[in-house]
Structure 1
Amino acid sequence: MTATLIDGKAIAARMRGETLRDARALTESGWAPKLVSISVGDVAAAEIYVRNQQRQASEAGVGFEARNYPESISLEQLTGVLAGLNADPRVNGIIIQRPLPAHIPVKALQKAVHPLKDVEGMHPASIGNIVYNDLALGPCTAVAAVEILKTLPLKLEGLDVCVIGHSEIVGKPIAFLMMSLGATVTVCHHLTRQVAVHSRAADAVFVAVGK
């Protein structure tokens, strides 16, 4: 039995190429796609993420604007900024960078981003739609992990899958996405007894526990 190398970089490059073609077509029709990054206060912790996102956006033919607001900005002011971006037809996607100051709860901002501009898939509607197999935009890590599995020579219908970790942004969305593809899913978490028993019996294992 030979191992199959899962080349995530190659998969990403293919998808980026598809996005680049779509972005160029939009640009030629007068609707150049644009992504706006929102950070608040000291950006050192998020700086590497913003740089990587800017590079990836450029390679995909998508405009990228990084906005940084002072730490003193209020939740109401920031919500107003997001309302303006939601209404702006020139803006196609919005990313909320973390960490945020203590007085600005991240969930409040995620709810303030329009679901169809929520490229991180973190709006409650984006996560909830996965239950109905209506995937417009889903949590990035979960969707990426499932897309990688779909490239393998496996029949997904009836596949026994074990998901270790049940966070709202990775574990649970993966479980629902796999169920929608016909897989039989077991979800393990910190209260699960004998995780190894479930993982060894599975055809595929997703580990989403931060290590």
Structure 2
Amino acid sequence: MTATRIDGKAFAEELRKKIAAQVAQLKADRGIVPGLAVVLVGEDPASSVYVRNKAKQTAEVGMHSYEHKLPASTSQEELLTLIARLNADKAVNGILVQLPLPKHLDEEAVINAISVEKDVDGFSIQNVGRLSTGQKAMVPCTPLGCLMLLRDQLGDLSGMSAVVIGRSNIVGKPMAQLLLGDSATVTIAHSRTKDLPSVCQKADIVVAAVGRPMMVKANWIKPGATVIDVGINRTDDGLVGDVDPAVADVAGAMTPVPGGVGPMTIACLLANTLTATARVNGLPDPEGLTI
């Protein structure tokens, strides 16, 4: 068996086309142009590249892009003042503060200072609570992208057995909530899970989000299972995922690294920004962009 390649790059490209069309329609019908503000504190190279890509793709779909690059010495008060200004700015529909922040800044306080309606990362305690209780929420971008890929590949997820490896607030926990929302039977596994391979062997769906290069082996996977590899690990041999490429010999379908989940994250950020714009203006959620 050779796994079907789940092409996140191609899916993300189609998603951006849908977003661009709906942005153009919103502008034509209502004179509204969504605006996304991205805040970068410090000079982390990976974050800087990521922010540039976000700005480029935001402009390409017809949205306004607002970049705020602050020095690493920025104080907590200065950062919170900027967020308060962006919260009050009607031209800004989405606010994203690039993580990680310099160590002297309180990430939790910063995230929770963002207006819940503009929290397009879906990290604030209000959006986390809404998602976990099945209410309308801003959904974290990477898990949202994973769910879109799973639905596209498998259709109805109801009754399927899913294992999420990783319990981070950014991917693992919200991913489990989304799968539960689609009526999958969900297990959250992590570094202290006993006999992790046998847990994974029972799953129809495995989502790996642990940040350990090629941790998930072929003998962990049930034949025909669908594997979503969220990991992006930089090694001497280049970028690798959390899943050993040999898993493709067993799985039914699998995301590659790179070119799988990664491209979906920014596309879903743009989708969330459009959704936030629609909601603040009392309009229906954009078609095909929300859960």
Give the shorter-chain TM-score range.
Answer: over 0.9
1:15 is aligned to 2:15: yes
- The structural deviation recorded for 1:192 is 0.5
Q: What's the TM-score, normalizing by structure 1?
A: 0.93
Which residue number in structure 2 is paired with residue 147 of structure 1?
148
Unaligned runs of at least 5 residues, structure 1 = none
Change (3 A) 1:154 1:23: closer
Q: CA deviation at 1:180?
A: 1.1
Distance (whole Å) between structure 2 residues aligned to residue 59 and residue 120 of structure 1:
20
Provide the rounded CA distance (Å) in 2 between the counterparts of 1:44 and 1:26.
Answer: 35
Contact 2:158–2:183 (Cα < 8 Å) also in 1: yes
Other-structure match for 2:96: 95
Q: Tell me the equivalent position of 2:215.
A: none
Q: 1:57: how far off?
A: 0.9
Corresponding residue for 1:77? 78
- Give the distance between the partners of 2:201 and 2:104, measured in 1 at CA: 44
SS of match in other structure, 2:82:
helix
1:52 aligns with 2:53: yes
2:118 aligned with 1:114, yes or no?
no
Quote the Cα distance in structure 1 between the aligned partners of 2:66 and 2:205. Answer: 38
RMSD: 1.7
Q: How many residues align?
A: 211
Q: Secondary structure at the match of 1:95?
A: strand
Write the distance in 1 (CA, Å) between the matches of 2:38 and 2:155: 37
Q: Is the 8 A contact 1:133 1:177 kept in 2?
A: no
Amino acid paired to 1:74: S
Per the TM alignment, residue 47 of structure 1 is displaced from its structure 2 partner at its CA by: 1.2
CA–CA distance in 2 between the matches of 1:99 and 1:132?
Answer: 27
Percentage identity across aligned positions?
38
- Is contact 1:37-1:97 (8 Å) kept? yes
Residue in structure 1 matched with residue 129 of structure 2 by the alignment = 128
Deviation digits for residues 16-37 of structure 1 (CA, Å, limit 9, x no counterpart): 1121112112323222111111
The Cα offsets for residues 13-67 of structure 1, whole Å up to 9 and x where unpaired, read as: 1211121112112323222111111112335342101111012212222111211
- State how far apart, in whole Å, the 1-side matches of 2:201 and 2:56 are: 39
Residue 64 of structure 1: aligned partner: 65
Q: Distance in 2 between matches of 1:90 and 1:102?
A: 30
TM-score by length of 2: 0.68
Q: Could you tell me whether the CA contact under 8 Å between 2:116 and 2:127 is conserved in 1?
A: yes
Instruction: Structure 2: state its 5+ residue gaps.
Output: 213-291
